[in-house]
Amino acid sequence: MQSDKLRLIWIYPDLLSTYGDQGNVLVLEQRARRRNIPVETVYVRSADPIPEQGDVYLLGGGEDRPQILAAARLRRDGGLGRAVERGASVFAVCAGYQLIGTVFGGEEGQPVEGVGLIDIGSRRGERRAVGEIVAEVDPELGVPTLTGFENHMGVTDLGPSVRPLSRTVVGTGNGDGTEGCYSGRVLGTYLHGPALARNPGLADLLLSWAMGVETLPPIDDTWHERLRDERLGTVLGRQ
């Protein structure tokens, strides 16, 4: 942590918060509080500068046009890149995931320059991927099976310096059998909206990166686990 508080920075809720993205902030806040870690969240609107002293930066999903606007504003601001160089963590979802790469597809499929935090390139695919997704996470990360919902038309190619976050069991993800990616403490995924609600293990990975610890004390995950069991059971059961 940079200070005596864990600082969460939610980037551009006015542009990148199409569908429940706030859930990721709420889950991280709650998991920190239940472990007596003081936490502060800053909501940064797109007209405002990105604070550079955050611990975890969150980017949500968005429609094509807001995504292009957000990328342009983030490039102009430059603060997010400086925070990452300093060692901050980033969790980026769906449109946010695409725009932290070098390039992504705009509303007509045209290439749009991304923020370039990690070496991935996205483009518009043939068909929209809409539905439940299940994926097995890179064992290096020690995170249980991912469960979530995807809703995008993107295909994402990973460069040599990034690793896939997971391999899909159900769903489309990056389009090549992998889902999401990570590089250092920057992590992106096509699991849209409140991805951390169904994947508290992923939330704890981000918290442990931010705290600089290997493990965190366990907390009561009853409702997370019941929902995970129900979703994984239902989705894998219909295979």
Catalytic residue ranges: 94, 192
- d(C-alpha 135, C-alpha 162), whole Å: 18
Q: Report the C-alpha gap between 23 and 100 in whole angstroms.
A: 20
Residue 219 as a binder of another protein (CB under 8 A): the answer is: no
Per-residue interface string for the shown chain with another protein, residues 35-74, x marking contact by CB under 8 A: ----------xxx---------------xxxx--x-----
Of the pair 46, 145, the CB lying nearest another protein is at 46
Binding flag, residue 144, another protein (CB under 8 A): no
When asked if residue 208 is in the footprint of another protein (CB under 8 A), the reply is no
CB 40 within 8 A of CB 5: yes
Binds another protein (CB under 8 A): choice among 1, 2, 14, 208 = 14
* CA–CA distance, 16 with 9 (Å, rounded to integer): 13
Q: How many residues bind another protein (CB under 8 A)?
A: 35
CB of 3 to another protein, least distance (A): 25
Contacts of 47 (CB under 8 A, 6+ apart): none
Binding residue for another protein, selected from 90, 133, 192, 209, defined by CB under 8 A: 192
Q: Give me the least distance between CB of 86 and another protein, in Å please.
A: 27
- Verify binding: residue 106, another protein, rule CB under 8 A: no
19 versus 176: smaller Cβ distance to another protein: 19
Smallest gap from Cβ 196 to another protein, in A, equals 10
Closest contact distance (angstroms) between CB of 185 and another protein is 24
Nearer to another protein, 149 or 182 (CB): 149
172 touches another protein by CB under 8 A:
no
To another protein, the closest distance from the beta carbon of 85 in angstroms equals 28
- For another protein, the binding residue among 193, 201, 203, 210 (CB under 8 A) is 193
Residue-by-residue DSSP string for the chain: --SSSEEEEEE-TTTS-SSSTHHHHHHHHHHHHTTT--EEEEEE-TTSPPPS--SEEEE----HHHHHHHHHHHHHH-HHHHHHHHT-EEEEETHHHHHTSSEEE-TTS-EEE---SSSEEEEEEEEEEEEEEEEEE-GGG----EEEEEEEEEEEEEPTT-EEEEEEEES-TTTTSEEEEEETTEEEES--SSHHHH-HHHHHHHHHHHHT-S-------HHHHHHHHHHHHHHHHT-
Contact residues for another protein, defined by CB under 8 A = 13-15, 17-23, 26-27, 30, 45-47, 63-66, 69, 130-132, 149, 151, 192-194, 197, 223-224, 226-227, 230
